[in-house]
Amino acid sequence: MELKDVKALFFVKDFVGNREAQETPDLNSPAHGRTIEVTFSDGEKLVGKTEGYNPHKLGFFMFPADPKSNNIRIFVVTKNARQVKFL
């Protein structure tokens, strides 16, 4: 498997996680960058901040908008995102 075939790489706080958790975005988060919403081809949506989105690159990092998220940061593979929009 190659990186281009992966939906995203999730850098997490712990590997146990909580499948039932519902993220609540804090759009006033102190994280730097623009607020972005990514919808993947499987319907999953993530909201966070990014400083490096470029639709012509392999991917970009984003930081979750929910401070309680198990994700620390996420590397989104651009071609596997159905929609990317700035909020």
The hierarchical CATH code for the domain 3-16+29-86 is 2.30.30.100
pLDDT tens for residues 6-61?
899 999 988 776 566 666 666 666 667 899 999 998 999 999 999 989 999 999 99
pLDDT at 39: 97
Of residues 48, 51, 38, 50, the one with CA closest to residue 80: 38
Give the predicted TM-score (pTM) of the model: 0.82
**Where do the domains of the chain lie?**
3-16+29-86
Contact partners, residue 35, CB within 8 Å, separation at least 6: 27, 47, 48, 49, 65, 86, 87
